Structure 1
């Protein structure tokens, strides 16, 4: 039986675990008696982490936590940001929401400039897809399933914040073009990547965390800018999500977990994917784009995730950052590490579960779309 007290305790523990991370696979004592983020690099790992933390702060009304997040951004921006690419765009999502809580015109200007850069200057693939450029390589002609969370949620939120419908439309278009090349019409699952240079899906890996980015990103897009999505596009994305979740429900282990390779149950269990899938399902139900019957998958995954939170608040069995694999063994051999995105996806799941235990306004209930 879930209780508000138990979930609140877990949220505090996992949030402190996030504060202890100085880098990937690098933990340290807390910096001070107060809550202070120590993660040293501005990149996707911490971008996902801070988004989870900010959602927690907003839901709980914790102004001190919001101030701590703002302190981290002030530190990072003040010392100079790294070159712009897909992964370094990830921290912009939380910043585009944080500017509603702090009076920083310079941060507002940064959000607008970065969103404009994504639309006009980020390298594009055939069909105008966001090429998955990262700090290590250009990944010429490549679409990855990570990209939608790392760039397009930010772009949509910035479009809403600054009344730029063209930015929202571009974000939605990216969901459509990525679906065309990454979603498998047979299973409903998503491949990790697509390469226009050779026209193939690399190892044809149904990577667990990669799929979870989609399970999370589609409901988040609806939550951020749902009213601005064209009805035909909303219907299409609803069908895409429902198809994926139907497939996922048949691939869950008896203990509630999902594997690193979803269709290979002998591949390692992976907590960040499990938490992301559970969170995405709950958000999909809340947004009215998944049926209530899918909650059983999320509840089973929740129990499994909670069992993998260490006494120090570090989430266990989280696989390392994952570049594109060219064979399936690459995914099977990924090591586990303490990672901000693991903390974040668990925080998001806990926040959403806690929200479900609290009274809701009847007027906020939404009707599941037909698909």
Structure 2
């Protein structure tokens, strides 16, 4: 999404320096970083058994849970919920009168509490709590959302008194100006409300929901769009920034119009952005240059399939758009699955094997593949082992302290391959954390799925439906 501003870029560099002390990514079962032996192999002396650059084995639930706990602990430490004076850093405890320099502090990682990436983190935390039964995951969401409920009036008063125009720490909530400001967090607040996690943020849900449903710029046909970087642009990212929020509004209110809008945007964005020859979504489309080259950025494809999965989770099965969305998700997952690399991860540019292997998109793909198998949308025979191999690669990107490595930083809609190829990666890019939580939680669900038998035959893994 939107690239970091200069001050944020400086903080990212600081975060990278801080991470030097955290250590290299963990290599499950192989700290030395060499080739992995398959622990399920029957003969250690048989050269045909082979070794692999990633752990080629059936994942262990306890190991996945441990990885998710490291991520949770890391995020918990990196997201303080307090208010300080900007200059001195002294904590503010008297909230009767707002101070002009009052801000929410950040750590070296600079993980904003209201950014869209944090909305994905909350989705991952809620999923992890649901799957594992460990409420420490949802406690982070409850803490953040209670902070919003407690301090929103204070920062609203600060804004009214000092007219800070965007410099206010609650600016994204007080005055949303884009789907990035509204959509993902709106969906997260509704999911938390439904799960009875944290306070009821109904008033803020209304503010963010109104932006997505009524105020966001759209094409004449109702497709969610942007006025940047080109005057009339579509971003595949905005499938996720808008569609899940619309779907959750439909579930929360019971109003079918929200579902209709969500389905319409899946199908219309697909019409503009999806290439049936490649089975992939191009990152963006510009109305003033509709014949521009297509660039298949991995995370954009991740947002597309994640939005469809989130919609199908709540869309009534009798909705006429349900089979259309499901059919498109199946086509998209097929195109993505066949481009998986030999490490289990996917490339930054999906169709370019010389592009680096990127974490956030890979995590989204693992989650959606595993989730679609668990929901019965796609065949476990075809896709179960793909999800497993994806998790194997993804697990090597989770550091010992819980940092998620190898994630592409914020990325705009660009017109050349060079830009995409050379986007930096950083553990300070929050985009990788929520998807990795989602992926791990859904893999646990897949491994525990009573309808699937995971068999090891002919030195590989087969996900087979259990006979009734």
What per-residue deviation string (whole Å, max 9, x for no partner) do you get for residues 209-253 of structure 1?
Answer: 1111122221221112243632xx222222222222222232111
Q: Does 1:46 align with 2:118?
A: yes
- The answer on 1:158 being equivalent to 2:249 is yes
- Give the secondary structure class of the aligned counterpart of 1:240: helix
Partner of 1:121: 215
- Counterparts of 2:299 and 2:272 in 1: how far apart (Å)? 18
- Cα 1:139/1:42, change in 2 over 3 Å: farther
The answer as to 2:414 corresponding to 1:325 is: yes
Matched, 1:13 2:74: no
Q: What residue is the counterpart of 1:28 in the other structure?
A: none
TM-score, L = length of structure 1: 0.85
Counterpart of 2:179 (choices 73, 86, 106) is 86
Aligned pair in 2 of structure 1 residues 299, 361: CA closer, same or farther (>3 Å)? closer
Query: What pairs up with 1:4-83 in 2 under 5 angstroms?
Result: 4-21=61-78, 39-76=111-148, 78=152, 79=155, 80-82=170-172, 83=175
Indicate the residue corresponding to 1:271 in structure 2: 359
CA-based RMSD of the aligned residues comes to 2.4
Aligned counterpart, 1:204: 294
Choose 1 or 2 for highest CA Rg: 2
Q: Deviations over 1:94-149 (max 9, x none)?
A: 101111215745x123223432332222111232111136xxx5753211111121
**Does residue 284 of the first structure (1) align with residue 382 of the second (2)?**
no
Q: Quote the Cα distance in structure 1 between the aligned partners of 2:383 and 2:451.
A: 22
Q: Flag the 1:13–1:116 CA change in 2: closer, same or farther, 3 A.
A: same
CA distance in 2, matches of 1:275, 1:307: 12
Could you tell me which residue of structure 1 aligns to residue 27 of structure 2?
Answer: none
Give the number of aligned pairs: 343
Moved more, 267-276 or 107-116: 107-116
Q: Name 1:311's counterpart in structure 2.
A: 400
Q: Which moved more, 1:169-178 or 1:49-58?
A: 49-58
1:81 positional shift = 3.9
Partner of 1:335: 424
Indicate the larger mover: 248-257 or 68-77. Answer: 68-77
Deviation at residue 41 of structure 1 after TM alignment: 4.4
Q: Is the 8 A contact 2:59 2:392 kept in 1?
A: no
Measure, in 2, the Cα distance between the counterparts of 1:69 and 1:228: 33
> 2:112 and 2:424 mapped to 1: Cα distance?
21
**1:22-69: CA deviations, max 9, x gaps?**
59xxxxxxxxxxxxx973342212121222112212333444543431
1:184 CA drift (Å): 0.4
Structure with greater strand percent: 2
Q: Which residue of 2 aligns with 1:31?
A: none
Q: Which has the higher helix share?
A: 1
Distance apart, 1:166 and its partner CA: 0.9
* 1:191, distance to aligned residue in structure 2 (A): 0.5
Question: 1:235: which partner in 2?
Answer: 323
Counterparts in 2 of 1:81 and 1:102: CA distance versus 1, 3 Å? farther
Offset, 1:327:
0.2
> How far, CA to CA, are the matches of 1:326 and 1:359 in structure 2?
43
Shift >4 Å, 4+ stretches: 102-105, 359-362
Offset of 1:195 from its aligned partner? 1.2
| Secondary structure at 1:70 match in 2 | helix
Offset of 1:291 from its aligned partner? 2.0
Which residue does the alignment assign to 1:26? none
For the 8 Å contact 2:366–2:391, the answer to whether it is kept is yes
